[in-house]
């Protein structure tokens, strides 16, 4: 089964049932980070989801979380610095670097990543 990394944007689109993400709902083993899960929880609460519903999504997707090494964090800091004009979140930078190191595609709809290597961009 192919693996794919879900950034927070992609997780939201899967939750919303975005039809453009339908092909990524099957035959992929998802990967994400605890940082993306934190962003997910926060943004769900910010848009008015209940604590319980937000926790449900957090725990549903937490089964896909990967371990983040200090080396990934350092490389993510360098990546964020190199792309500081794009104002990327730390979660996105960490996830992108983790996906790249693992050799899996980074699924997102974030326009800041649209032209980058190793990205599947789906609006």
91 within domain boundaries: yes
User: CB of 28 within 8 A of CB of 4?
Assistant: yes
Owning domain of residue 47: 7-15+28-121
> Measured on CA atoms in the order 33, 39, 42, 44, is the torsion positive or negative?
negative
User: CB of 122 within 8 A of CB of 66?
Assistant: no
pLDDT at 1: 81
| CATH label of the domain that carries residue 105 | 3.40.50
Number of domains in the chain: 1
Separation between Cα atoms, residue 97 and residue 73, nearest integer Å: 8
pLDDT at 12: 95
93 within domain boundaries: yes
pLDDT at 105: 97
Digitized pLDDT (tens) for each residue of the chain, 123 residues in all: 899 999 999 999 999 999 999 999 888 999 999 999 999 999 999 999 999 999 999 999 999 999 999 999 999 999 999 999 999 999 999 999 999 999 999 999 999 999 999 999 998
57 within domain boundaries: yes
23 within domain boundaries: no
21 within domain boundaries: no
The pairing of strands 2-6 and 105-108 is: parallel
76 within domain boundaries: yes
pTM score, whole prediction: 0.93
């Amino acid at each position: 089964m192919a693996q794919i990394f879900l950034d927070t944007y992609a997780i939201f689109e899967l939750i919303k049932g975005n039809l453009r993400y339908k092909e990524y709902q099957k035959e992929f083993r998802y990967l994400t980070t605890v940082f993306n899960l934190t962003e997910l929880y926060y943004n769900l609460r910010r848009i008015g989801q209940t604590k319980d519903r937000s926790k449900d999504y957090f725990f549903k997707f937490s089964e896909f979380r990967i371990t983040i090494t200090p080396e990934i964090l350092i490389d993510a800091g360098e990546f964020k610095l190199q792309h500081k004009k794009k104002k990327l979140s730390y979660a996105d930078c960490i996830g992108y670097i983790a996906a790249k190191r693992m050799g899996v595609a980074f699924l997102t709809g974030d326009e800041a990543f649209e032209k980058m290597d190793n990205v599947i961009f789906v609006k």
